[in-house]
A and B are shown apart, each in its own frame.
Chain A
Amino acid sequence: MARTIKAEIGPKRQVNIEFSGFPGESCFDEAERLRSVLKGLGLWAIPVTVTPKSSSQLSRELGEDVAEKKKVLHS
């Protein structure tokens, strides 16, 4: 799966960046690399929130359907 970074730059200095396809914790390392390059260009990106993707979001990225589990009552 390709590693993808999608940045959405809004009109009020807010930047949302989505990291997809990174194995393990490497997306956090890539986020730091990106911040470092941006700082060198004069852009200081101050983190506001960091949200790990949910299992369903990750499954969608991988093109897999999430099978919903049904509760079964045992009598």
Chain B
Amino acid sequence: MSHISSYHADIRLQTALEQGKSVEQDPGWEILNGAVWACAEEMNLDVGHSIRDYYGRLVYCDWSLSGPAFDRGIGINVDRETGDVVFICDSYGGYERIAGEIKERVIQNYIALCVTRALSALNYDVEVQEVKHPVDGKKVLVKGVL
């Protein structure tokens, strides 16, 4: 028998925490770093470690993504106790859409990197393909053959 499953994906970096290690040692930390840099390349953004709020005050974070059209930036923090991944942004003044797009792109890249790695770990030969759709946006297709 074969089947088709549909999942909702959530990011929580808990593997290292459960082993008594720091969250920076979690395998997901490196994957998240890769997802952030991939997003920066795709959307022509800069990666840093701080964002600014409406008043121009600096807020430090684990990663930040900003660009000429979005100089305040969006920040990504990983909770050191729970491993929860939190996106922070002062979107007041019309930045909700761009902040939302960046957030969803980082998450999509994270999922694609995880699925690729997981299939490789299960000894599948993996191919990755990106499909851009004018309405649905970007889709990533990952195929593993055993």
Contact = CB atoms under 8 A, between A and B. Distances in A.
Interface string A32-56: 0110011111111111111111000
A47 B4 contact: no
B interface bracket (residues with beta carbon within 8 Å of A): 35 or more
Nearest to B130: A9
Contacts of B69: none
25 contacts: A4-B144, A4-B145, A5-B119, A5-B144, A7-B144, A10-B136, A10-B137, A13-B10, A14-B8, A14-B9, A15-B7, A15-B9, A18-B4, A22-B1, A34-B122, A41-B118, A42-B28, A42-B114, A43-B11, A46-B8, A46-B9, A47-B5, A47-B7, A48-B8, A61-B2
Interface of B: 1-15, 26-28, 31-32, 83, 104-105, 107-108, 110-112, 114-115, 117-119, 121-122, 124, 136-146
